[in-house]
Structure 1
Amino acid sequence: MASPGGTSSGSSLLQTSGSEEDMQALMDQKRQKRMISNRESARRSRMRKQKHLDDLTAQVNQLRKENSRILTSLTFNTQHHSAVEAENSVLRTQMVELGNRLQSLSEILHCLNGNTTITSGLFCDGPQVNNSFSNPWNLMYMNQQPIMASVGNMFLY
């Protein structure tokens, strides 16, 4: 004899197995959706990494160019500085030589003006010195040595 509970338990089994299949299908669908989402996320992540790498490579190239430009400028400025230092040394040497000449000429003029004093080892007896020295324009015709500075003395100052 069939009981109404027996029939209901049979249909309950069918409903349970159907809902389990639906649940399994739903879980499979969610898993598939998650896998697709993860793949898309990984693809976007790889793209971001590649873009970052490209940006860094471009920045490296730009910094290398800038470094090269700065190095060229530094080399030029160092050479210019060395040239200016050499010229400065020559000019200082010339300044000392011109100062010595000026002092000697001042002592000669001092003697020509009649002062009979000893100045820097020079003894003046008064106006007996040749009168051509008293006219400064006559000094142009004297045999004067040109002012020279040697390269060896360039870095002494």
Structure 2
Amino acid sequence: MASSSGTATTSSGGSYPLQISGSDEDLQRLMDQKKRKRMVSNRESARRSRMRKQKHLDDLLTQVSQLRNGNSEVLANVSTTMQHYTRVETENSVLRAQVAELSRRLESLNQIMAFMNQPIDAGCGLAVEQYCVGGTELIDEFMDNSLSCFYANQPILASADMI
């Protein structure tokens, strides 16, 4: 420690001699002042550190809130998209069923056309006037051959409103 005679002495933590030019009271005041200055500096540094930590925490909470809002929007969009997809898939199923039904009808009509285009008998080649002469001949021929050759050249078209 320091002596009052002003001679060389060692510091409390080291082995190097210090030259003291003032009294012990001046030295104590100087050390107390440095200690207070260091305490104030440490307190200020701790305060800044707490402020940075609080700001970082606030930023993270803001980011969490934004991400939760974003997630809510994404989930809403996914839900809307799934509803739209389900509706479109249902419509596609209905349209596929309609296509299948119309295809069956068209195939049946094509079979009828193929049947009607086959030579039926010698009566089919007769002129229309011959059928009109004897009124019952047309009816008899039509009844015997339910698909009359009069309709053989009529086009058959399928439409969506047939269902």
Aligned to 1:43: 47
Find the aligned partners of 1:14 and 1:105 in 2 and give their Cα distance.
Answer: 132
The letter for the 1-side match of 2:155 is P
Alignment of 1:3-152 (within 5 A): 13-15=4-6, 18-114=22-118, 125=120, 128=145, 129-130=147-148, 131-136=150-155, 146-147=162-163
Give how far 1:84 is off.
0.8
The letter for the 1-side match of 2:84 is H
The letter for the 2-side match of 1:111 is F
Structure 1: stretches of 5+ with no match in the other structure: 1-11, 116-124, 148-157
Give how far 1:136 is off.
2.1
**Residues 13 and 88 (structure 1 numbering): CA distance in 2 closer, same or farther, change over 3 Å?**
closer
TM-score normalised by the chain length of structure 2 = 0.65
Give how far 1:133 is off.
4.8
Between 1:99-108 and 1:16-25, the stretch displaced more is 16-25
Find the aligned partners of 1:39 and 1:13 in 2 and give their Cα distance.
Answer: 34
- Aligned to 2:23, what secondary structure does the other structure show? helix
In percent, how many aligned pairs have the same letter?
Answer: 53
- State the Cα deviation string for residues 43-68 of structure 1 (Å, max 9, x = none): 10111011111111111111111111
The count of residues paired between Structure 1 and Structure 2 equals 122
- Aligned to 1:134, what secondary structure does the other structure show? coil
Find the aligned partners of 1:108 and 1:36 in 2 and give their Cα distance.
Answer: 106
- Aligned to 1:135, what secondary structure does the other structure show? coil
TM-score normalised by the chain length of structure 1 = 0.67
